[in-house]
Amino acid sequence: MFDTPYIQQRLQKAQALRQAHKNPYDNQVQRTLDNAHFLDKFSDLHTKDEPKDPNSTHALVGRVRFIRLMGKACFIKIEDQSALVQVYLSQNDLGKESFEDFKKCVEVGDIVNVIGYPFVTKTGELSLHASAYKILTKAIVPLPEKFHGLSDIELRYRQRYVDLIANPEVKEVFKTRSKIVATIRRFFEDKGFLEVETPMMHPIAGGANARPFITYHNALEVQRYLRIAPELYLKRLVVGGFEAVFEINRNFRNEGMDHSHNPEFTMLEFYWAYKTYEDLITLTKELFNTLLHALNLPTILAYQEHQIDFNTVRVLGFKEALEQVGGLVPDTIDDPAKLQAYLGSQGVRLEGLISHGKLLAEAFDLCVEHKLINPTFITEYPIEISPLARRSDSNPKIADRFELFIAGKEIANGFSELNDPIDQYGRFEEQVKAKESGDEEAQFMDTDYVWALGHGMPPTAGEGIGIDRLVMLLTNSKTIKDVILFPAMKPENKDSHA
């Protein structure tokens, strides 16, 4: 594993440190300031004419990013999480033996502890004049030759730690992601929602139409499914009397990967008793306004080749969207045979008996979704593709449901919840029939959930928002792999450690 010539040279240097009774993995750290605070604290040292104060001693730590040797002196740059700082080391200050050890043993990638006083170089750069140093961590694997701006996409995703070292802007994406999640949490807490945690291993895969990952519980001797959605557990809590709950959760769906899908992903789901899907649309608009403000983003947001105008938010019915955006005529939309023929002519492969609702969903995916650039709430979904949503009082063939699309991607899905246990049982039966007919994404029968509804769930509205896609949008990231620290990757080979 560590058998390349460069690594062997570094291992020899680590061994030389041990022989000199110096631990190449020292755990005793002195640190008085992080690098950003050092630069801020002494930012008033503007010129090289400022008097030096060797008694103003500070200790910094960081990874060596640059070394420039100049005979009996050298400059290095070290980077911690906060900033990059230049350090000056010389034989006069360190002593000949210590300085020679530095030249022999310290390399780019090592993590060091330096002690000294602030000063400004002849070129006007605030730096640390070192009086002592030590290696805290000897890096035995060298950074890629051109790690300043590492561009190998596969390597960046497989070895995110190298990516974070090489590309500082990547850290900013994940700092923003953390701020987005924190803002969402604060938003819902301020609204009176309770954050909860629900199981990640389920006896029945439910809450969404998706293929699950399957595992096995040895102690119970039963099969379990990794959570595809927390929905049915969260609604059980509403039955139990919690009127406003939310969970920021990890879900797992055994499906393909592309620029907007990862088999392991993060969702926000929340449920609000005595509210409707229309209340959720209003709340979702408010949430986006809060996020834009918290991140100091404009209401007209650049995303890839688009300009997303959050001042222009529209609500459009499902069939209206097929007509106005997708260009389909009502005669095709309303006739399953004609619709299936049209989809076939467009290269959509459909096998077996396909319901009208499923055909409409295929047509929407093909003709409409990618065209919805500005925020658009699509409502009035077919009931056949909404097995957990409440039927509309005015039209039992459609659901009180919406999905939010931005930049051609689904960002949120919400609806007034179905709380009629008899209707829900019938919907599950239809899902079971679909699964028996070959639909691997159809849901299982969940009799315990139906029994829970039998105890009475108040009128409730619920919504899920994909955190990963939301972060993509708000950080102008092209692919979901850019906003997940360790995305799923195809193995390089069976013996690969990456």
How many degrees, rounded to 5, is the angle at CA 33 between CA 29 and CA 35? 105
Report whether 410 belongs to an annotated binding site: yes
292-318 burial code (b ≥16 CB/10 A, e <16)? eebeebeeebebeeeebebeebeebeb
Spatial distance between the Cα atoms of 374 and 409, rounded to a whole number of angstroms = 10
Q: How far apart are CA 321 and CA 308, in angstroms?
A: 19
Cα separations in angstroms, 289 against 193, 216, 347, 436: 19, 43, 40, 44
The Cα-based distances of 16 to 61, 107, 137, 140, 481 in angstroms read: 22, 14, 14, 13, 41
**To which residue do tokens 């999905």 refer?**
403
Residue 459 is given by DSSP the state S
Rounded CA separation 12/18 (Å): 10
What is the rounded CA–CA span in Å between residue 395 and residue 386? 14
Half-sphere exposure of residue 238: CA atoms within 13 angstroms, side-chain side:
30
Cα–Cα separations (whole angstroms), residue 104 to 37, 107, 228, 489: 31, 8, 54, 38
What CA–CA distance (Å, rounded) separates 496 from 498? 5
CB atoms within 10 A of CB 342: 20
Cβ-contact 263, 254 below 8 angstroms: yes
Structure tokens at 296: 């100091």
**Which DSSP string do the residues of 340-382 spell out, in sequence order?**
HHHHHHTT----S---HHHHHHHHHHHHTGGG--S-EEEE--B
The CA distance from 409 to 60, in Å, is 45
Task: Quote the CA–CA distance of 393 and 419 in Å, as a whole number.
Answer: 14
Binding site members: 403, 410
Tell me the binding residues for Mg(2+): 403, 410
